[in-house]
Amino acid sequence: MAKLYFYYASMNAGKSATLLQANFNYHERGMRTMLWTAALDDRSIAAEDDLQDSHAIESRIGLHAAAHRFLPETNLFEQVSARHAVQPLSCVMVDEAQFLTPAQVWQCADLADKAGLPVICYGLRTDFRGDLFPGAAVLLGIADNLVELKAVCHCGRKASMNLRVDERGSAVSEGDQTEIGGNERYVALCRRHFSEALGR
């Protein structure tokens, strides 16, 4: 039976690189995949008509792949099912899965349960305040398999939290849940150092 998987971690744990390696393994065996990522980060969108871009999923180590971009209104079950009817797929992979809506997470579950397609989601569990993202919360609740990828805090402990910093490197504790950025905006820390940075 096909399953819904959620690979989660803090930032800089290699989620995108893990997705791209899995995608490579499928292709190496002659299998088709369909990749998705959030349309929130539109800095490199090349084709506005289908929100697909050749570098849509890119890891910090330089790996990249084309992917479709999902918006909150995107019906993943319908889009993937339509592609699957034309060209049978072996797997669906979703990067930045924390940005899925709860309804989209259930659509991913339906792809596994009703269409027989494994769906592997990769994303953050919590935001810069330590709160669950809506998509991550549903994935944690209904995914068949949960896999935590490990990042390392500067102290050597597991980094499970994402600290947002300003341009001076100071901790930020207020703002919108979603703000696109990389190492210049976020630091992966263990819970202890995350709490200390926020003065808790």
**d(C-alpha 145, C-alpha 112), whole Å:** 12
What are the tokens at 16? 């995108």
Active site residue 184: no
Query: Beta strand pairing status for 91-94 and 33-38?
Result: parallel
Query: Of 5, 4, 10, which is closest to residue 157 (Cα–Cα)?
Result: 10
Sign of CA dihedral 4, 183, 60, 57: positive
Using alpha carbons, select from 72, 118, 119 the residue that is nearest to residue 94. Answer: 119
111, two tokens: 């792809």
Active-site entry in 73, 78, 96, 196: 96
Q: Do residues 162 and 188 make contact, with C-beta atoms less than 8 angstroms apart?
A: yes
Residue 171 to residue 173: CA distance in whole angstroms: 7
Q: How far apart are the first and last CA of the chain?
A: 45
Residues belonging to the active site: 96
